[in-house]
Amino acid sequence: MMLHLRSVLALALLSLCGLAQAASPKADPRFEPTRQAFEAAFPGVTVDGIRATPFANLLEVEVGGTLLYTDPQASFVLQGSLLDSKSRVDLTEQRMQELNRVSLDDLPLDKAIKLVKGDGSRRLVVFEDPNCGYCKRLHTTLQEIDNVTVYSLMFPILGPDSRRKAEDIWCAQNPAKTLSDWMGGGTRPEKASCEHPLDQLLAVGQKLRIQGTPAIYFADGSRADGWLPAAQLQSRLEAAAQ
C-alpha cells in the first residue's frame, strides 16, 4: 500500500515536472509540522498546500494537482473523493473546481480558433485534441447551442498525428471552417505549415493541469473536464452568464 502511494505521488510530481505553477496561497504556519511530516514520509514529494476540512483532524493536502487527506501528524493518507454524508456534496470535486477556476481573459484567446454561432454573446473556451472522440462529439453537441462564441485552443496530446492535424488546422486558410469540417464532418485537413502557437498552448494547458480533452471553460471561470450533453452544456452556459 505504501509503495503504491509513493508511486501515485511520484507520478503526480513527474506529470508537472518543469512546469510553472500558479502561485500557491500563503502557507498557514499551523500546518507546517504536517507538511514536514508528510514530506518526510514521502521523500521527493513537495506539498503545494495544506488546508483544513470541515471534519475534525482531517486535513486536505495538495500535491501536484491532486488532493489527498491526512491527519495533523501525517500518520495516514487517504486518496479519493471526500463526501459530506449529510449534504451529499462531493467536497473533493467542489474543491478541485475552485482550484481550476480561471478568468477567461487570462487564457490565450488571441491564439484560439474562433467559432461564432448566432450573436456570439456567450463565451466558451475549449482545449481540444483533433483526434479526441469526445471533442468531436462536443462539436456535434454545439450544433444544438445558439448565441455562443467558442474559442478552440489546439491541445494535441494524443500523439504525432494529433500534432500534425493541429498544425494543418491552425495553418489553413480558413482555420475555423477547417476545424468544423474535420471535427464535425470528418473532412481531413489539407497539409499546411506556418508559424503556430501549439507549444505555447501545450504549456498553458499543462500549467492549468489539463490532463485530458475536451477541457471546457465557461464565462465564470469554471471548468468541465470531458464532453457534456446539450442540456448540461446549456445549463452551464446560462449559470456562467449570471
- Please give the model's pTM, rounded to 2 decimal places: 0.73
pLDDT digits over 178-192, tens only?
999 999 999 999 999
What is the rounded distance in angstroms from the CA atom of residue 28 to the CA atom of residue 183? Answer: 47
pLDDT per residue over 31-61, tens digit each? 999 999 999 999 999 998 999 999 999 999 9
CA distances from 181 to 64, 91, 140 (A): 37, 40, 11
Per-residue pLDDT at 26: 54
Which residue, chain included where needed, has cell 454524508? 85
Contact call for residues 183 and 130 (beta carbons, < 8 A):
yes
Among residues 204, 215, 155, 211, the alpha carbon closest in space to that of 21 is found at 204
- pLDDT tens digit sequence for 94-116: 888 788 789 999 999 999 999 99
Q: Is the dihedral of CA 72, 75, 78, 79 positive or negative?
A: positive
Domains and CATH numbers, the chain: 2-100 (3.10.450.70), 104-241 (3.40.30.10)
